[in-house]
Amino acid sequence: MAGLFYQTIARLSADLAAKKLSAVELTQAVIARAKAVEPRIRAFNSFDESDALAQAAESDARRAAGRSRGSLEGIPIGLKDVIAVQNQPLTASSRMLANFVSPYDATVTTRLKAAGAILFGRLNCDEFAMGSSTENSAFHPTANPWDVTRVPGGSSGGSAAALAAGEAIATLGSDTGGSIRQPAAFCGVVGLKPTYGLVSRYGLIAFASSLDQIGPFARTVGDAAVLLGAIAGHDERDSTSYRVEIPDYAAALEGRRGPWKLGIPKEYFGAGLDPEIGAAVERAIDFYRGLGCEVREVSLPHTQYCLDTYYIIATAEASSNLARYDGIRYGHRASGAKDVVDLYFQSRAEGFGAEVKRRIILGTYVLSSGYYDAYYLRAQKVRTLIRRDFLAAYQQVDALITPTSPIPAFKLGEKSDPLAMYLCDVYTIGVNLAGLPGISVPCGFTAAGLPIGLQLIGQPFQEAQLLAIAHAYEREHEWSQRHPALASSG
């Protein structure tokens, strides 16, 4: 069973269908791999081995009875610990929810189960998805499988690291300002942030409700397309969910071959971009030129305001969303409080970590009387300008090409300054503010052997085209077929 954990969904599905492999055997291989590498990677907050094997046995029984549910039947998939799974822990990597067990399934969970997937484990993240390194977890940091002295990115670092280390066949994360794409780049896997409203947020612990979006991590663009097809679609329980036709994303990969018109935002290639990353992205751009694509420079003039705008809107929404954690209804409750107000103060002081407190304070400030118009309202106006920049660019091009991150994975503990950490998401934040789809695909390695990510940004609800553009690059390069040397221990 060695090496099963690094196969694609497409390959494993074919082997399962041909009865060359059982779901139980595949799940056992993934569990064995997780046990072998978890002491070094620490991608999981928890996993229930017996439950996963029981799901696998049920999958094998369905297949034997001719009732296979589809292309995810028998495939072990890990979920970030902000996505609800009934009767499983739901902690958001926070002391505030350390003992909370979800009473219901998120919509994406329901849809994965309906597709036959085996849900395996609760994956570590920055607390309440606030961070870029997975060092803000209240439980433990996660290591990058390519270099365990470095971060896997964040906030969905556990989802990216587990996949890169072979501890899952695919995973789901959430992306509020780059939290799928940046860790995908750091860990050398594919990460897709769908258009806002394409995938239901019901059952996702809210950080910033107008920015959050659930999306897949996968080994290949094809696997990401399969996962997106399984989880996308309208949901009555999410008031921000859109009614749009969901195409066969996997079939569209081969059906759309370009050439495309691609834009290079000049604002994304300036100061602060690591030279090795810049060179790798330039080579990718040259590849698209070689395919016959028309590549032109475009401008997103309000890019310089993205970071400021994001940290006003995101913190304001976090302040509102996290107000529910008061020590009364559920979550951590402090002991020895003198009265109800003291209970609020103590419970929140003990339950939240430093970064979450920082963002709540910032958000409360920008929403406070006398500052709302000066900060929050103005930020919303600038957000509109940022979206208009992207839509104007799409009058000229089909998609945009940028680096995913300005730097490769950095050392654990290296960025103690919050502002330095926030700058890691400078190329991804605009996509969330504009509600657009974005994907990170591996496009090389630094001289030190660290993965580099290429970001492609698509038009609203044009995931099929975005995936096809990414697939055109991936099928001619072997980056996604490389795995960390950690594999030798599995």
Angle at 80 between CA 443 and CA 203, to 5 degrees: 125
- Start-to-end CA distance of the chain, whole Å, equals 10
Q: Are the C-beta atoms of 211 and 155 separated by less than 8 Å?
A: no
SS3 of residue 88 by DSSP: coil
- CB contact set of 56 (below 8 Å; sequence gap of 6+): 22, 23, 24, 26, 27, 28, 74, 76, 118
Per-residue buried b or exposed e for 60-69, using 16+ beta carbons within 10 Å of the residue's own CB: bebbeeeebb
Round to whole Å and give the CA distance between 74 and 58: 9
Q: Are the C-beta atoms of 328 and 315 separated by less than 8 Å?
A: no
Round to whole Å and give the CA distance between 350 and 337: 12
In this structure, what are the phi and psi dihedrals at residue 348, rounded to the nearest 5 degrees? -75, -35
SS3 of residue 70 by DSSP: coil
- CB contact set of 483 (below 8 Å; sequence gap of 6+): 6, 164, 166
Round to whole Å and give the CA distance between 454 and 278: 10
Q: List residues with catalytic annotation.
A: 80, 155, 179
